[in-house]
Structure formats: structure tokens, C-alpha cells
Amino acid sequence: MTQRFATDVLIIGGGAAGLSAALNLAPHVRVTVLCKDGLEASSSQWAQGGVAAVTAPDDSVEAHAKDTIAAGASLCDEDIVRLTVSRAHHAINRLRSRGVTFDGSGDAFDLTREGGHSFRRILHVADATGQAVLAKLTQGALDHPQIELFNDRVAIDLINLSQLGRQGNRCAGAYVLNRSTGRVEVFQARFVILATGGASKVYLYTSNPDSSTGDGIAMAWRAGCRIANMEFIQFHPTCLYHPQAKSFLISEAVRGEGGLLTLPDGSRFLPKFDPRAELAPRDIVARAIDHEMKRLGLDHVYIDISHRPRRFVEERFPTIVRRCRELGFDLAGGPVPVVPAAHYTCGGVVVDQNGGTDIPSLYAIGEVSCTGLHGANRLASNSLLECLVFAEAAADAIRAQLNAPHRPVEAPHWDESQVTDSDEDVVIAHNWEELRRFMWDYVGIVRTNKRLERALHRVRLLKQEVHEYYSHYRVSNDLIELRNLIDVADLIIRSAMLRRESRGLHFNLDHPEPVAPAKDTILFPGAVEHLFLNAGQLHA
């Protein structure tokens, strides 16, 4: 018998976005938070840089908005940008009220600068801001009697009543795999919030944790939501190059504090690609590194901040210094090898200014969503800001509906009567490796029409094979994640093929110039058709 749980609000994902929403809602309703692993495994935990917010007297909201729009290659929704950056100071105060202590003294923050920013406006907690923020949010959630946390739960699919032939078009929960028992459970809820993060695990090399498999994007797509701008995958320029580093980032802030990118002979190369050199946005820096690696046949380049005082480097970047030392490198004493890696999904589930999706009662916040804030390239340290602002907006929107009439509908149980246990798990492992390899080779930092065509052919074969596998065998964690990654890869490839230009993070050698006006790529479930909308019309 399928085990059932009922709650007011079901939040899938326990990172900064999910926990912020939970804490904003908990005084008013019962909240259930599902975590794929533990609370410490989200991408928020890995965020080193900080939160972008205007707090300095010489800075301004307009300057922050201008930097965001410039980094987004004119594809940002300007209304969403200004809405988000204008709420940044409130978001910072909310974090401080929850116990987060940013570096500095009182209201005089120790601000740093990162690529694409015209001012020092990044609030941070040393070089482990995400960890510090998540620790306070986690403690708040654990202490709140209205919040129930479930670990080791992997969502399989959303429950869309209209797709099940039930009365009403709304999201009523999710089918979820309990990884501890191997059984599927039903979580029913009046409202569902997707806070599952991005999909960078679709690439062979990524800075993200293993859980970043695009689950929310894939589930929303299958449930009937539009997906936008999936071609814009941000590659972080400086991931530590070492077989044991396991995708460890050398923070953007290292370049913000004077770190230089060099070739093996010690020469700099960024100035010839952009006048901002190391402080150019990530898309430009990543492409420059990719170009030099291919030109010279290199496995990596170097980042060097040894010209700054050792004490400054060790105090400003203690986590990075410690990890580098463990692997035999001295960040304060000389160059450290780095390579680009898939880092952030700028596209995602189309949402409105409150995080609402195309399906009533379903919200998406954080990296899983496409709000219009990031456009064709995310400005550094705007991601945590987006999580905080839209978590509060979604919570406010849900609270406004709590007094409306509501009739609970019981979803069907999970039917396993026609499936058996698999004895061919090797198929999943092989397909997983193949997918991530051809996405890296064909749909990476630099693309061509031919590479994209090859990738589309490969992903369609995998999709057919995994669909057949999914239909005959009981679900497992690896099968669920592979199924989601294949759906996400298909969305990325199709979006990239539709964009016949180069803009922001999407660079195609066959279409090297941008085309005016800037337009969003929108994909519709169940339809061959696609739509391009002028920038800023994403939610029209």
C-alpha cells in the first residue's frame, strides 16, 4: 500500500530558496520540505562568493540593475531586475535577523567586487557565504514546529490533477521515492514549491553537487509548464583542476580581489579579449580560457593572486586556501591550475514575479526558475539574492490565497503492478556517462550547428531507451535522475538549435553575432511549436 502524507505547502528542495520560503510560510501554515540528500547537500551550501546588494553610499540600485542587464546581454526583464535589486537590502536584513553575520563591523560591511559589477557590493562571510546562510536557515527550519523535514526523498513526478483526469487544473503534490526504503510515497499538498536547483550535472565537468540533476525543470516540463532560455548554461571560469578536487571552485571573488589568469609561461591573456580583463563577466572569461586551452592544447590555465599579501589572502579566502593546501597548492604563494566547469542554469521554468508557474498552485523559485533576472548570463552573486527575494514573493502569494475555498482531492496511488526489479543497472551507468560526455563535447562553451545536431540525435536515442526502461522496471534514484537529465539535455539542445545567433552564454561559431532585438526562447510541452518573445515579454 502506498504511504501518503498531507500538508499545506510541499517544498521540494532544501537549499536557500526552499528553506527561506518555508520559514516565511511556517507562521501561517504547515510546511513539508523534501531533501534529496541532507540539508547540507544543496548548491547553496557551495556558494562561496556572497550576496549582491546595494549598501555602500556611492552605489545605487540603478547601477546594480544596469550591471545585471549588461551581463545578461540585453535579454533580462528590466522590470524583474529592478524589482529584485530594489528588494536586496530587505533580503539582507531578513538574513541578519535570522542570525547571519556578514563580514564587517555593524552596518559597515566588508564589501568585495566580482566580475561584471561596477562597484564593491558583494556581502560575504569569508569565502563560505552559502554555508553560513544555509546553516542559519537550516537551524531555523529545524526549530520551527510548523516545518517538517524529510531527507533521502527524490521527487519522481508532480501530481497535475488535469493530467490524471481529475476535476480541476492544479498541482496537488508529488510522487516521491523514499531512498531508504525503496518505496514510492505520495505527498499531497494544497500548494507545491519547486526549489530543486539547476541542472549542471548534465555536463561531464561541473562545479555543482551530485544532486543538481535538473529534477524540478524536468518534472515541471512533464507536468505542462513552459520552459525558457535553457541554452544559457553558465560555465564558471575557475574550477580547481585536480583529479581529487571534485569540482571545487576558486571563487569569483579571487579575481575580484586582484587574482590574474595566466598561461603556463606566466603571461596574462584576458586583456586581449576584454578591456575589463579578469573582471569581465563569466561568459567572456570562460570563452577566453576555452580559446587559449584549445589554441595551445592545454588541460588548464592558472589563477595567481600571490602578488597580494599572504595574510590578506589567507584571511579573505580561508576555505579555498585550506582546500588548495590539502591538494598540494599554495594559493597565497603562487599560481593554481583552473579550468571552466558547468556552474549555473540561467533558464528554467517560466514564472511570474511571484514565482507562479503555468499550473495553478505550483511555484518555482531559485535556480529551477526563469524569472527574467539573469537573461543570457547571470551576474555574479545575484543567485542567492534571487533565491531570497522570490522565496518571500512566493510565500506572500500563497498566504494571500489561504482563505480561498479549497476541496482536497486524493491522488491515485503509485502503481507498480506492471514492473519488476531491474537486473540491468549497467544500462543506467553507461547512458549517464554517454549523456554527460556528449553534452560536454557538443553543447559546451562553444557550439556549432553540426555539434548540436549530433547531440540531438544522441539524446533522442537515449530518451527512447530510458523511456522503455522506465516503463518496465521499478524506479531507482539513478533512473529518476537519468530520466530527468535526458529531458533537460533535450531542452538545452532544442533551445540552442533555435537560437540562430550568439548572445551571452550561448556562443555558436556558425552564428557568431547577436541579432536584434533580443528574444527569449520559449518551449511548450506537447507541442512542436516554439516561440521567440522580445526580451521583457517572458511573462506577457
DSSP 393-449: HHHHHHHTTTTS-----PPPPP--TT-B--S-THHHHHHHHHHHHHHHHHSSSSB-H
Confidence of residue 389 (pLDDT cuts 50, 70, 90): very high
> What gap in Å lies between CA 399 and CA 383, rounded to an integer?
24
* Per-residue model confidence (pLDDT) at position 416: 75
Nearest to 512 by CA among 501, 497, 496: 501
Cα dist from 189 to 5, 7, 9, 141, 175, whole Å? 9, 5, 6, 19, 11
Rounded to 5°, the CA angle 351-443-65 comes to: 40
| 503 located within any domain | yes
Q: Is a pLDDT exceeding 60 seen at residue 40?
A: no
Within 8 A by CB and 6+ apart from 318, the residues are 126, 127, 128
Buried b or exposed e, range 237-261, using 16+ CB within 10 angstroms: bbbbbbeebebbbbbbbbbbbebbb
* Per-residue model confidence (pLDDT) at position 106: 77
| 123 located within any domain | no
**Residue carrying the nine cell digits 541542472:** 199
Query: How many domains does one find in the chain?
Result: 2
- Percentage of the chain with pLDDT > 90? 75
Continuous segment of H or E residues that includes residue 464: helix 449-472
Say which CATH number the domain at 254 has.
3.90.700.10
Q: Is a pLDDT exceeding 60 seen at residue 135?
A: yes
| Active site (annotated) includes residue 282 | yes
Q: Is a pLDDT exceeding 60 seen at residue 43?
A: no
Over residues 449-465, the mean pLDDT reads 95
Last residue of a domain, one of 342, 368, 383: 342
Q: Is a pLDDT exceeding 60 seen at residue 314?
A: yes
| 535 located within any domain | no
| 137 located within any domain | no
> What gap in Å lies between CA 266 and CA 170, rounded to an integer?
58
Residue 105: half-sphere exposure toward Cβ, Cα within 13 Å: 0
Last residue of a domain, one of 283, 307, 342: 342
* Per-residue model confidence (pLDDT) at position 2: 77
Instruction: Indicate which residue of 87, 94, 255, 282 is catalytic.
Output: 282
Cα dist from 374 to 123, 355, 483, whole Å? 19, 15, 27
Over residues 324-341, the mean pLDDT reads 95
The neighbouring-strand residues paired with 158 are 174
Cα dist from 123 to 48, 104, 459, whole Å? 11, 9, 41
Say which CATH number the domain at 444 has.
1.20.58.100
* Per-residue model confidence (pLDDT) at position 42: 55
Q: Is a pLDDT exceeding 60 seen at residue 167?
A: yes
Last residue of a domain, one of 292, 313, 342: 342
Q: Is a pLDDT exceeding 60 seen at residue 496?
A: yes
Within 8 A by CB and 6+ apart from 317, the residues are 126, 127, 251, 253, 254, 331
- Listing DSSP states for 243-283 in one string gives TTSSS-B--HHHHHTT-EEE-TTS-B-GGGT-TTGGGS-HH
Over residues 408-433, the mean pLDDT reads 77
Rounded to 5°, the CA angle 106-110-114 comes to: 145
Q: Is a pLDDT exceeding 80 seen at residue 254?
A: yes
* Per-residue model confidence (pLDDT) at position 8: 97
Q: Is a pLDDT exceeding 90 seen at residue 456?
A: yes
Confidence of residue 401 (pLDDT cuts 50, 70, 90): very high
Q: Are 205 and 249 in contact (CB under 8 A)?
A: no
Q: Are 36 and 407 in contact (CB under 8 A)?
A: no
| 36 located within any domain | no
455 CB-contact burial (10 Å; exposed 0-12 / middle 13-18 / buried 19+): buried
| 205 located within any domain | no
| 523 located within any domain | no
Over residues 450-469, the mean pLDDT reads 93
Q: In 3-state terms, what secondary structure has residue 222? A: helix
> What gap in Å lies between CA 112 and CA 518, rounded to an integer?
31
> Out of 172-181, 348-357, 415-424, 467-476, which region has the weakest mean confidence (pLDDT)?
415-424
Confidence of residue 535 (pLDDT cuts 50, 70, 90): low
> Mean pLDDT in the chain?
91
Confidence of residue 123 (pLDDT cuts 50, 70, 90): very high
Q: Are 220 and 194 in contact (CB under 8 A)?
A: yes
* Per-residue model confidence (pLDDT) at position 152: 95
**Residue carrying the nine cell digits 511548450:** 524
Confidence of residue 539 (pLDDT cuts 50, 70, 90): low
* Per-residue model confidence (pLDDT) at position 267: 97
Q: Is a pLDDT exceeding 80 seen at residue 168?
A: no
Supply the range of the domain harboring residue 480: 426-513
**Omega within 30 of 0 (cis) for the link into 517:** yes
| 48 located within any domain | no
